[in-house]
Structure formats: C-alpha cells, structure tokens
Amino acid sequence: MGKINLTALRVRQTALNQFASGKTSKLPQWVGVVGEIPPAETLIRTRPPQHELVQQRLKTVAGSSKPQVVFQVQEKRRKPKKPSRLFQPVELKYEEDQLRTQFFCDHPWELARPRVLLESTGKDFEHYDWSRIQQPGKRLDGESVVQRQLWLLNNVPDMTKSTAYDIARREFYRLRLQEDIQRRVASEEAAAYGAEFGPSYMDIGMKMENEQYDKWVAWARETSLVQDQRKSALSGAPDLGDTTESSEIEAEEGEAVSL
Amino acid sequence: MIIRKLCMRQSRQLLALSRRAPISSRFQSTLPETPVETLQTPIRDEISRSENPLFEMVQAQSEASTPAQQEFTSDEPPRSRFKKLGTSVKSSYDPEDVIRNPPKPSQISLEMLLAAGTHLGHSTSRWNPQNSRYIFGIREGVHIISLDVTAAHLRRAAKVVEEVAARGGLILFAGTRKGQKRAVVKAASLAKGYHIFERWIPGSLTNGEQILGHCETKVVNALDEELPNFKSDLADRPSLKPDLVICLNPLENVVLLHECGLNNVPTIGVIDTDADPTRVTYPIPSNDDSLRATCLIAGILGRAGEAGQLRRLKMAQEGRTSYTPITAQELRLDPFTGLAPGGEGQKK
C-alpha cells in the first residue's frame, strides 16, 4: 500500500496496549528486554559518508633539508549534486585503483594466475611492510606491485608515478625470473635424485595425435577395400585401374605413419 | 591377519616382478619369518614368461634408466634422511571452525566481519533505499555495508538474545537457505532454542493448533527438569509461541515475519541491501548470501543465548528467577474457565 509497516518495530507498544486493554492477561517476558534494549532507528535518512580521494606525497622544500608531507585532495566537482541524489551512497575511491588498472592493462596475463582471496582473520595487512616487495605469507603477484608503487609514492620524496611504477616493476620482474630459475633447479635436482615426472604434456599430445593417425589408416584401408569390392562387382572382373588406386592409398598410409 | 591375507592376494602380481618386492615386508607387523621366504622362492620360479602376459611391461617399468633412479629404488636410507627437512603448516583457515566453535559476542571485531565478507551487499540497482543508513559506499557497482554499523547491530541483537534466554524465553532460529542447516542447528543447541532449516509452514503461528497441535509440550521447573504431573493439563492448551525469532534469510521468510508481526513476536533478521529492514524488530545489516557470514552471525547469537541460559540456570540454583514464574494453580486452570487444586511447580 506504499506505506511503511511498523508492526515489527512497535512490538513492545502493542504488547503494552494489549495488556492495558485486557486482551492479554499477562505481559510477555521479553517486554522488559525490548524496553531496555530498544530497536535502532532504521528509517531516518542520514547523509551518507562522503568519500574523497586523498593522495599523500613527500616534497622537498627549498629552504629546509627535511621533506614535507603534502596531502592532495581531489578537486570538487564544479556542478553541484542533484538534490535527489543527496542521500545516495557515494563511490569509494582509492589511489591504488589507477595504479591497479595500469598494471593489469600492461600485464593482462597476471590476472590468469591463481590467487588466494580467503583471509582467516582479516589481519593479514598487519604483517605486510611495503618498503620491500616480498611479504611473508603472500605470494608475489600484481597486487604486490601496486602496493609497492603506492608505498614509494607516499614515502619517497619527489616521486613520480612513472618512476615508482618502473622501480616496482623492475623488482617484480627480477623476482619472477628468480622464481623461474628456482623451479628449474628444483626439477633438475629432483631428477638427479631419481624422481620421474612422467610424460610431458607435449608427449601426451603427440601420442594422442598418433592414435588419430592410426585410426585414419585403419579407416582408409577399410574404405579402399569397400571401394575395390564395389568396382569389381560393377565391372565383373578386377581392373588395372583399381589396383593402382589401392596402391596409392597404401603409399599415403606409409607417409602418414612416417610423419 | 587381514593384512597378511592381503599380502598373499597381492603377491601373485608382486612375485612377477624381477626386483624384490618392498611392500610385502612393510605391511607385516613382525619381521618375515624364514618359512615365508622358502615359500616364495619356488613360486617365483614357477611363473614363467609365457604365463604372465604383462611380464614385459612390468619388466620395463621396474628397470631404472639412470643410476640415480636405481639408487632411489634400491636404497631406503636417503629418503628417510630427507623426511626431517621442510616445514609443517600449523594454523590455517578451517571453514568448519565457525560452526564448531563460534566466537562470543565480546570477540566481535571488524576484521572478523571483514574476513567473513559481511560487508558485501548487492548490486546498486537492487538496493532498498531504507537501508541507506547502513551503506558505506559503492565499490565496483556493489553496495558496501558499513562494518561498524554491522558490529553495533550484531552486539545489540546478541544482547537481546542473551536477555531473552536469561528470562527463559523460547528462541527460534530460522535459516532456510541451502547450507545454513548446520549453523542453525548448532546455534539453537547452544542457546537451548529451536530451529527451522526447511520451509516455514505458513500458519504455524496463526493456525498453530491445526499445524503444531500434535507436537509434544512439557512443563519444566526452573532447573529445566520435566514435571510429568502436569502432562494432562497441557491437552487443551494452545500451541506455544516463540518469544524471539531469529531469521537468517528474511527475503525468503516473509510469511514467517508477517506471522510474527501478527502475533506480536520480536524478530532479529540479517538484512542485506535488498531486504526490507522494517520487516524485523532488530535488523543486522550484513551479507546474507555468504554462508560464512550467516554462519558467523548465527554462531555469535547462539553463543549469546548460551550465556543467557547459563545465567538463568545459575540463578535458579540459588533459588532466584529473573522472570515471574507461572504457578501450578495457573497451569491447572482451564484456559477458559477457572478450576483445579494447587501443587508445587513452575513453568518457564
């Protein structure tokens, strides 16, 4: 009916009224509880939190030796907000967003790597120190680069975005190379100690391809036989032309097998 | 005994191997005796190449190609030497933990709620503007619920559950979505309440005599001991109504909440950004689609109920109650006309 139903919020009032009017002979046990702990106000609109994009930078000042911390706030929009949108929630913006977009634009295959999204306590960030790119308990990924770049922007005097990006990226590439080498050495080491890794994907693929070739050979042999029989039945006696055809197919078979 | 037999059964294949079978001695609890050895050798001689079709295949597999592999297959000591190396993972996330051992209301922290994903709302287009108080902002087209508001409302709801349990109220936990069953049952067992994990039958409150009339009711004293003397007095009583209903998915249980409104029963509900917060008395703004979030909320409320029940029983042992107990005379009275003698007994 377009009106707000306040029955649930007014349970205590209703219970008291029913008791006063004699509808119920006894007050329910929870009336005191709801009186002591009243329901929160739900329907009063408040101005939602206004989020601003704040950037922290270190800048060297001409006079002093110590760099100065500068906070830059995103410019306010020139056109004021529509009154109807006054109570609507505001978009959350962080400085990392642009950095993240840039990194994953340049390295799209980083998104294909598996990543752990689960947190057991929600306090993982307490163990991280972005003055270096490697963190305990966190795998090196695109997010490491973004966080490292942000730390450089916030804590190194006169740092520009592109320089920070280059520094963070270089560290990242170096560690990725190191990982590759570690993996290779580990496999070699394991092989030296007698590990067997089984056939590689390439071997398995080749085997499957060969199986298909063999199938084709069997099929070709059968169809050529059928064709021979059909022709001989039509002509009444085997002809010279037929034998040449079947020999051609056999030659093809030989090629396929050798391939 | 059984293990020995298994060895015997497997041995037909093992004997075909050219190398010594390492498994036969490993499965046995005692050292292999000499008669076993003498038994094995003649059988090995009997099996010839022609009898075993897989002989060549087995032979090829058992042949180690490199000297390192030969050493690996022949020698045991090197492997045992490496077993001491490496790390052992100690504490990792266990999804069962929130069901088996739910946290107490005093342990609620924003990090815990964040890790459970209670802050994730619905797509902005699906929002209910009545929830604008609880919404922190928009991220990637999704409303983000304010974690501190969630924590405050959750603490308030936990307090209500505890107080109602301390006054001997009947608490009903309802979570009818897939996967909420175990959390709901656990919470109800902690709070000594009741649970629904399947569909709420419409009319269970408004038409209780028809739907729940056959259900068993009992009279208990303040220490929760059953008083069987009053069984006959309960025959013509209307079905019991809960004093508090906790609903984990109000969107699907509109009928339940409507009946609670009609019967004047306070309710607690998990309100996502697309749900109507006025349907419940005490809303808990949170993500209701994440099982981890709803299990956490149910567990916390269950723990609160547990604390209330403990308090009530402790008071009862001291001979006090935080509620006005029903007297035996009231219980014996006909619901419509007065009658019956007295006796000692209390109903919670």
* Same-domain status, A214 and A172: no
Residue ending a domain, choose from A192, A217, A236 = A192
- According to DSSP H, which parts of A116-200 are helical? 142-155, 161-192
Q: Is residue A164 part of a domain?
A: yes
Number of structural domains chain A divides into: 3
Q: What is the pLDDT of residues B282-317, one digit of tens each?
A: 999 999 999 999 999 999 999 999 999 999 999 999
Search chain A and give the residue with CA nearest B66. Answer: A194
Q: What is the mean pLDDT of residues B91-108?
A: 89
* Same-domain status, A184 and A108: yes
- CA B113 to chain CA centroid, Å, is 18
Q: Is residue A70 part of a domain?
A: no
* Same-domain status, A160 and A185: yes
Search chain A and give the residue with CA nearest B94. Answer: A120
Reported as a pLDDT band with limits 50, 70 and 90, residue B56 is low
* Same-domain status, A36 and A8: yes
Are the CB atoms for B273 and B145 separated by under 8 Å?
yes
Are the CB atoms for B167 and B323 separated by under 8 Å?
yes
Helix count and strand count (H, E) for chain A? 7, 2
pLDDT at residue A20 tops 70: yes
Q: What is the pLDDT of residues A210-258, one digit of tens each?
A: 999 999 999 999 999 999 999 999 887 555 554 555 555 555 555 555 4
Q: Is residue A206 part of a domain?
A: yes
Q: Is residue A69 part of a domain?
A: no
* Same-domain status, A155 and A240: no
pLDDT at residue B127 tops 90: yes
* Same-domain status, A182 and A237: no
Contact A89 B132 (CB under 8 A): yes
Q: Is residue A60 part of a domain?
A: no
pLDDT at B54: 56
Q: Is residue A235 part of a domain?
A: yes
pLDDT at B37: 43
Are the CB atoms for B300 and B102 separated by under 8 Å?
yes
Q: Is residue A163 part of a domain?
A: yes
Q: Which is nearest to B28 in space by CA: B58, B13, B53, B8?
A: B8
Q: Is residue A83 part of a domain?
A: no
Q: What is the mean pLDDT of residues B232-240?
A: 81
Of B156, B243, B244, the CB nearest to A40: B156
pLDDT at B233: 78
* Same-domain status, A186 and A212: no
Reported as a pLDDT band with limits 50, 70 and 90, residue B130 is very high
pLDDT at residue B72 tops 50: yes
Cα–Cα distance, A151 to B116 (Å, whole number):
27
Domains of chain B: 2-73 (no CATH), 103-205+241-317 (3.40.50.10490)
* Same-domain status, A110 and A169: yes
Cα–Cα distance, B85 to A195 (Å, whole number):
17
Reported as a pLDDT band with limits 50, 70 and 90, residue B341 is very low
pLDDT at A251: 56
Q: Which of A10-14, A49-53, B151-155 has the lowest mean pLDDT?
A: A49-53
Of B93, B160, B164, the CB nearest to A118: B93
Shortest alpha-carbon distance between residue A46 and chain B (Å): 6
pLDDT at residue A171 tops 80: yes
ipTM for the whole complex:
0.74
* Same-domain status, A5 and A40: yes
More confident residue, A147 or A79: A147
pTM exceeds cut of 0.90: no
Q: What is the mean pLDDT of residues A180-192?
A: 94
* Same-domain status, A127 and A157: yes
pLDDT at B63: 62
Structure token digits, residue B134? 């609880």
Residue ending a domain, choose from A46, A66, A83 = A46
* Same-domain status, A185 and A235: no
Contact B167 A29 (CB under 8 A): yes
Type and span of the H or E element at A71: strand A68-73
* Same-domain status, A179 and A238: no
Backbone phi, psi, residue B171, to 5° = -110, 130
CB of A184 within 8 Å of a chain B CB? The answer is no
Reported as a pLDDT band with limits 50, 70 and 90, residue B191 is very high
pLDDT at A200: 87
pLDDT at A65: 85
Contact A48 B139 (CB under 8 A): no
Q: What is the mean pLDDT of residues A9-23?
A: 94
pLDDT at residue B34 tops 50: no
pLDDT at B7: 46
Q: What is the mean pLDDT of residues B112-128?
A: 94
Domain that holds residue A25: 1-46
When the pLDDT of each residue in chain A is averaged and rounded to a whole number, the result is 88
What Rg do the C-alpha atoms of chain A give, in angstroms?
38
Q: Which of A86-100, B26-40, B301-315 has the lowest mean pLDDT?
A: B26-40
pLDDT at residue B6 tops 80: no
pLDDT at residue B94 tops 80: yes
CB of A100 within 8 Å of a chain B CB? The answer is no
What Rg do the C-alpha atoms of chain B give, in angstroms?
33
Search chain A and give the residue with CA nearest B141. Answer: A91
When the pLDDT of each residue in chain B is averaged and rounded to a whole number, the result is 81
Search chain B and give the residue with CA nearest A40. Answer: B282
**Is B87 exposed, middle or buried, given 0-12, 13-18 or 19+ CB atoms closer than 10 A?**
exposed
Cα–Cα distance, B146 to B271 (Å, whole number):
12
